[in-house]
Amino acid sequence: MTFLYNIGIALYSCLINIVAPFNAKARLLKEGRRESLQRLKTLKLDGPVVWVHAASLGEFEQGRPIIEKIKADHPQYKVVLTFFSPSGYEVRKNFDLADHVLYMPADTKKNARKFVEAIRPEKVFFIKYEFWHHFLSELSKLSIPVYGVSMIFRKEQGFFKGYGAWFRNVLKAFTKFYVQDEVSGELLSGIGFNNYVVSGDTRFDRVRNIALESKNFDVVENFVGDSQQVIVAGSTWAADEDILIDYLQTNEQVKLIIAPHEIHKEHIQQIEAKLKVPYQKYTCTENDLVHARVLIVDTIGMLSSIYKYGQVAYIGGGFGVGIHNTLEAATYGMPVLFGPNFRKFKEARDLIDLRGGFSIKSAGEFNELANQLFSDATYLKSTSDKSKAYVDKMCGATKQIMTEVFA
């Protein structure tokens, strides 16, 4: 099986090299991996090292509370942060709490040995779904403790199949699994791994900190005014925007703050073309904000703070590959609405069970639910309270992990 795994890694690397001239993401990955291997030769690390690995940006948000806590409570440690994906590395390559940010090299035996020898980590954190055979084998051989953070397992994974002996062997490198839910723990226990703790998801700690440190925006405050019927829609795609705009045309008291997933000129123009009510773009607000019904947030980095200006949140992506981050909205205490493709996301399922989150399948369902929320203050408060209580209850994973690992 290791032979086939090595072939797969080699073929993937070969494919990246072939498509790099024509694909920006592949080119970034190829060049980034090469640069990171060069940097390893001159890496300066004085003092004990913690290595934190995240596949991409979403996993980074789960690892970030760990890094923040290390730097706050154990500043003697140097932090090496690695990414698999350019979508994580390119956004966070200048993250100031990490001493070094690198691409994880391709998972070959040679690369794993070079990398581990270069950084000599005392502790390693792999976030959520990361199971790289050669890196884990090298760490295990050197008796370096490896901790899985915010991990979640599903019965469909190879670890739990009759043919899964090789996959299960990879898990032996982990000192402890900090899993999100009881189901994950039971699955591990069923294949003989009892070194787990149900600690929850560190993202809850992250979104709570974001809310506590949220920024104020004068433009948004002026747009909202004294309105108590504001929808904040985050990371939307065209299908989401059609539903929201349709609702807005026939509900004159409602205002919409929309932060689309893509903010390039063409997409913003598509949104503008659909609107038949007064609107403003965040970057172009020389006209009357008070009478605008829609504020288009055509810049990045604001969404997590903007949710606090609304009474109802809508999360985009549910009519495509899957919804985006629901927790950033839920932490402010507001009902969270999203499309039908949400089942891969535990927090969305939990919010639905608690009646703090709602999935809609059509414009008609959205209209009915939004009208109910805005017309019934008691119902709106009940759903808002349930959403906030869920986040409050789920916080604390970071503290638990840090207390045990750095005991």
The domain in which residue 286 lies consists of 212-394
Burial 44-64 (b: 16+ CB within 10 A, else e): eeeeebbbbbbbbebbbbbbb
Give the CATH number of the domain where residue 324 resides: 3.40.50.2000
Give the CATH number of the domain where residue 22 resides: 3.40.50.11720
Q: Are both 385 and 400 inside the same structural domain?
A: no
Structure tokens given for 269: 């123009």
Q: Are both 78 and 205 inside the same structural domain?
A: yes
CA–CA gap between residue 134 and residue 132 (Å, rounded): 6
pLDDT of the residue at 286:
65
Residue 390 clears pLDDT 80, i.e. is over it: yes
Q: Are both 50 and 60 inside the same structural domain?
A: yes
pLDDT in tens, 194-212: 999 999 999 999 999 989 9
CA–CA gap between residue 401 and residue 354 (Å, rounded): 26
CA–CA gap between residue 235 and residue 263 (Å, rounded): 10
Structure tokens given for 372: 């109910």
DSSP H or E run through 14 = helix 2-19
Q: Are both 84 and 226 inside the same structural domain?
A: no
Q: To the nearest whole number, what is the mean pLDDT of the chain?
A: 94
Q: Are both 47 and 81 inside the same structural domain?
A: yes
Residue 133 clears pLDDT 70, i.e. is over it: yes
Q: Are both 47 and 172 inside the same structural domain?
A: yes
CA–CA gap between residue 91 and residue 334 (Å, rounded): 28
Residue 46 clears pLDDT 90, i.e. is over it: no
pLDDT of the residue at 48:
96
Q: Are both 112 and 23 inside the same structural domain?
A: yes
Percent of residues, the chain, with pLDDT higher than 70: 99
Write the DSSP assignment of 144-211 as a string of letters. Answer: --EEEEEE---TTSGGGSTTTHHHHHHHTT-SEEEESSHHHHHHHHHTT---EEE---THHHHHHHHH
Spell out the alpha helix ranges (H) of 250-315.
265-274, 303-306
CA–CA gap between residue 288 and residue 74 (Å, rounded): 50
Residue 282 clears pLDDT 70, i.e. is over it: yes
CA–CA gap between residue 407 and residue 105 (Å, rounded): 31
Full-model pTM: 0.83
First vs last Cα of the chain: how many Å apart? 38
Residue 18 clears pLDDT 90, i.e. is over it: yes
pLDDT band at 289 (very low <50, low <70, confident <90, very high): confident
Q: Are both 267 and 203 inside the same structural domain?
A: no
Domain count along the chain: 2
- 239 Cβ contact partners less than 8 Å away, ≥ 6 residues apart: 319, 320, 339
Residue 284 clears pLDDT 90, i.e. is over it: no
Measured CA to CA in angstroms, residue 102 lies from 40, 85, 198 at distances of: 9, 11, 30
Structure tokens given for 382: 């009940």
Structure tokens given for 356: 């703090």
Q: Which of these ranges, 42-46, 90-94, 98-102, has the smallest mean pLDDT?
A: 42-46
Q: Are both 191 and 78 inside the same structural domain?
A: yes
- Residue among 251, 252, 274, 257 nearest 368 (CA): 251
Percent of residues, the chain, with pLDDT higher than 90: 89
pLDDT in tens, 313-327: 999 999 998 999 999
Structure tokens given for 186: 């039971």
pLDDT in tens, 104-125: 999 999 999 999 999 999 999 9
- 350 Cβ contact partners less than 8 Å away, ≥ 6 residues apart: 357, 390
DSSP H or E run through 118 = helix 109-119
The DSSP 8-state label assigned to residue 309 in this structure reads G
Q: What is the mean pLDDT of residues 372-385?
A: 97
pLDDT of the residue at 300:
86
Measured CA to CA in angstroms, residue 373 lies from 202, 312, 378 at distances of: 30, 8, 9
Q: Are both 225 and 367 inside the same structural domain?
A: yes
Q: Give the residues across from 179 on adjacent strands.
A: 151, 198
pLDDT of the residue at 301:
85
Q: What is the mean pLDDT of residues 258-265?
A: 93
Structure tokens given for 219: 């433009």
CA–CA gap between residue 79 and residue 140 (Å, rounded): 20
Q: Are both 173 and 303 inside the same structural domain?
A: no
CA–CA gap between residue 202 and residue 149 (Å, rounded): 8
Q: Are both 6 and 152 inside the same structural domain?
A: yes
Q: How big is the chain, counted in residues?
A: 407
pLDDT of the residue at 376:
97
pLDDT of the residue at 98:
96
Q: What is the mean pLDDT of residues 158-170?
A: 93
